Structure 1
């Protein structure tokens, strides 16, 4: 029996049923092309003058706003007295604190809910209730209870991050093959051994997915979390700039949140590949 394989000009081999694009094109070329198309469409939309520059500024205008927010110019330090990296640092610090608290609580709840049916029955309705609430629905209540300093911001981000981590971990624990658990118990493993050696390794892949979703939910809640006393902070910058219809600065803040989110998600993917190298292979 013979196997026919296509040989690409650059020496890479590809099966007839496989991907014919070189890997570097898929990883770098296509994303770069989509980015180029996005900026071309943006430039054409701004140049068409269908919309006022307040609504659709030129990419060059946004770039100049980025420079202004990132530097000291005409005696002004960045935006509202802080440089862009200082705004971003404060936002990332709040997100990190909220995500750590929310993910830790969510994974713990997920392990309990997945392992103990009556705990799942008690907590699942409350978790679903929290998932259904948009952040702004309870942020004002948090401000009343905790004030306008850091506590309500971090609490909001933690509450946003908790449900995805808890739901993903619960589903992963429930999906652990019963045969593996029974085999471990038949060999004399204690409940702790089963959780440590069977349940946690089996649940890790889906738990990492839940962590990534939790980070995304926390990021999507940043602007809401920084509505009050949010400067320095990217969300506070966006909110303050929107009050003055300063669209270029608003877009700078949006891009800062989005790009930093992509970087963090890439780091989480890297950690996931190293922590659970068996994902998709068993």
Structure 2
């Protein structure tokens, strides 16, 4: 007796490839949701903004039409009537100077904050000594001490970078302190029982367990520093997006202010996305253990 076995190829219609196509369509729907919903919200916001601007409820000084904002963006990107961009700089040159200041301030603030948090989390008396000062600094709005920095350091780059560093330091320090203090005691005791020194315990147990929370603090530091950039560029802030926003507001130039705000917001989203990517690479176990 001959036994005939009908084997259906995986790629044949109706074969076993259907679950794969279902999974592919599910991924497409997920990507469409992640991308489509934000775009839809932006579109709805733009339509509502344009309707309010056209209705005349408020003056165009307060709510300019989208075409006016676009023209301001074009003017900041080109040379028109003998004027180069805004204040003789194109918008990307302003943004570059702002990002350079933010980078310098964040690097200084985050490095000092992480080192300080590591020390405070491992040395109890140091934490009790410095924690009130960190809380005091964190409670101060950057504008409150910026004028003092200008008196001490002048109006060049030093007070701007110092302000951004002071804004970035407390979140990184507080998050690292909390993360180090919450390191698993069982793992620490096990490492000590195996003969690890204090430095080895910190390097091999405490630091890896603290990394996820530390990255959260770093992201907060970058966000707070970036939100302080307008204050940092109050004096001698051109070239700089914050300086553009401040200068344009003096003349009720709302379209230019909006272009500056959009540039700050979009670049902030990109920076946060890069930090998320770095976090996933450095701390791949976050949320899985």
Partner residue of 1:243? Answer: 250
Shift of 1:22: 2.3
Structure 1 residue 10 displacement after superposition:
5.8
Match of 1:192 in 2: 199
- Tell me which residue corresponds to 2:9: none
- Residue in structure 2 matching 1:183, options 186, 190, 196: 190
CA RMSD of the aligned region, Å?
Answer: 1.7
**How far, CA to CA, are the matches of 2:193 and 2:105 in structure 1?**
41
Partners of 1:71 and 1:197 lie apart in 2 by 54
For the residues of structure 2 that align with 1:174 and 1:197, how far apart are their CA atoms?
15
Out of 86, 103, 106, the residue aligned to residue 110 of structure 2 is: 103
Number of residues paired by the alignment? Answer: 272
Q: 1:58 aligns with which of 60, 65, 70?
A: 65
Corresponding residue to 1:115 among 122, 138, 152: 122
The answer to whether the 8 A contact 1:12-1:22 is kept is no
Is 1:153 aligned to 2:160, yes or no?
Answer: yes
Q: Residues 50 and 8 (structure 1 numbering): CA distance in 2 closer, same or farther, change over 3 Å? A: farther
State whether structure 2 residue 242 is matched by structure 1 residue 231.
no
Off by >4 Å, runs of 4+ in structure 1: 7-10
Query: How far is the alpha carbon of 1:41 from its aligned partner?
Result: 1.1
1:202 to 202, 209, 221: 209
Once residues 52 and 191 of structure 2 are traced to their aligned partners in structure 1, the CA distance between those partners, rounded to angstroms, is 63
Quote the residue 2:223 is aligned against. 216
1:132 partnered with 2:139:
yes
- Which of these residues, 13, 22, 25, is aligned with residue 32 of structure 2? 25
User: Cα offset for 1:73?
Assistant: 1.3
Distance 2:189 2:145 in 1: 44
Which residue does 1:174 correspond to in 2? 181
Structure possessing the higher radius of gyration over alpha carbons: 2
Distance 1:64 1:10, change over 3 A: farther
Please state how far the C-alpha of 1:26 moved relative to its aligned partner.
Answer: 2.6
- Between the aligned partners of 1:194 and 1:70, the Cα distance in structure 2 is 54
Counterpart in 1 of 2:78?
Answer: 71
Q: 1:191 to 1:85 in 2, by over 3 A?
A: same
Deviations 1:128-153 (A, max 9, x none): 00000000100000000000000000
1:87-124 CA distances to partner (integer Å, 9 max, x unpaired)? 00000000000000000010001001111110100000
The DSSP-based 3-state class of the residue aligned with 1:51 is coil
Q: Secondary structure at the match of 2:22?
A: coil
Which consecutive unaligned segments of at least 5 residues does structure 1 have?
A: 1-6
Shift of 1:25: 2.4
Quick one: distance in 1 between partners of 2:287 and 2:29? 22
Q: TM-score, normalised by structure 2?
A: 0.91
Distance 1:51 1:9 in 2: 54
TM-score scaled to structure 1, two decimals? 0.93
User: 1:70 Cα deviation (Å)?
Assistant: 1.2
Once the two structures are TM-superposed, the CA of residue 183 in structure 1 deviates from its matched residue by 0.4
SS at match of 1:11: helix
